[in-house]
Structure 1
Amino acid sequence: MSGTRTEPVQLVDGRALRMTIAEPPGVIRGGLVVLHEARGITETVRALADGLAAEGWLVVAPHIYHGADGSSEIDEALAADRVSALSGDSVLADTDIAFGWLAQHGIGADRIGVVGFEVGAGVALVVAARRGIGAAVSVAGGSGILQPLSPGLPAPVEVAAELRCPWLGLYGDKFADEVATLREAANSSEMASDIVLFPATDHRFDIHPDGAFEAWHRMLNWFDAHLR
Structure 2
Amino acid sequence: MSATRTEPVQLVDGRALRMTISEPPGVIRGGLVVVHEARGITETVRALADGLAAEGWLVVVPHIYHGAEGSSEVDESLAADLVNGLSGDSVLADTDIAFGWLAQHGIGADRIGVVGFELGGAVALVVAASRGIGAAVSVAGGGGIMQPLSPGMPALVDVAARLRCPWLGLYGDKYADEVEALRDAANRSESASDVLLFPAADHRFDIHPDGAFEAWQRMLNWFDAHLR
Same fold (TM > 0.5): yes
CA distance in 2, matches of 1:111, 1:190: 19
CA distance in 1, matches of 2:109, 2:153: 24
Q: SS where residue 207 of structure 1 aligns? A: coil
Q: Is the 8 A contact 1:206 1:215 kept in 2?
A: no
Superposed, which structure 2 residues align to 1:160-171 within 5 Å?
A: 160-171=160-171
Runs of 4 or more, structure 1, over 3 Å off, are 201-206
TM-score of the aligned structures, taking structure 1 as reference length:
0.96
CA distance in 2, matches of 1:162, 1:68: 32
Alignment-mate amino acid for residue 139 of structure 2: V
Question: Over the residues paired in the alignment, what is the CA RMSD in angstroms?
Answer: 1.5
Identity of aligned residues (%): 87
CA distances 1:37-60 after superposition (whole Å, capped 9, x unpaired)? 000000000000000000000000
Superposed, which structure 2 residues align to 1:109-120 within 5 Å?
A: 109-120=109-120
Residues 50 and 206 of structure 1: CA distance in aligned 2, closer, same or farther (over 3 Å): closer
Q: Which residue of structure 2 aligns with residue 154 of structure 1?
A: 154
Q: SS where residue 143 of structure 1 aligns? A: coil
CA distance in 2, matches of 1:32, 1:204: 18
Q: Does 1:105 align with 2:105?
A: yes
Q: Is the 8 A contact 1:40 1:74 kept in 2?
A: yes
Superposed, which structure 2 residues align to 1:40-55 within 5 Å?
A: 40-55=40-55
CA distances 1:113-163 after superposition (whole Å, capped 9, x unpaired)? 000111111110000000000000000232211110100010111100000
Q: Which residue of structure 2 aligns with residue 175 of structure 1?
A: 175
Q: SS where residue 34 of structure 2 aligns? A: strand
Q: SS where residue 211 of structure 2 aligns? A: helix
Q: Which residue of structure 2 aligns with residue 6 of structure 1?
A: 6
CA distances 1:1-33 after superposition (whole Å, capped 9, x unpaired)? 984210000000000000000000010000000
Superposed, which structure 2 residues align to 1:54-73 within 5 Å?
A: 54-73=54-73
Residues 15 and 201 of structure 1: CA distance in aligned 2, closer, same or farther (over 3 Å): closer
Q: SS where residue 210 of structure 1 aligns? A: coil
Q: CA deviation at 1:209?
A: 2.9
Q: Which residue of structure 1 aligns with residue 184 of structure 2?
A: 184
Q: Which residue of structure 1 aligns with residue 196 of structure 2?
A: 196
Segments of structure 1 that go 5 or more residues without pairing to the other structure are none
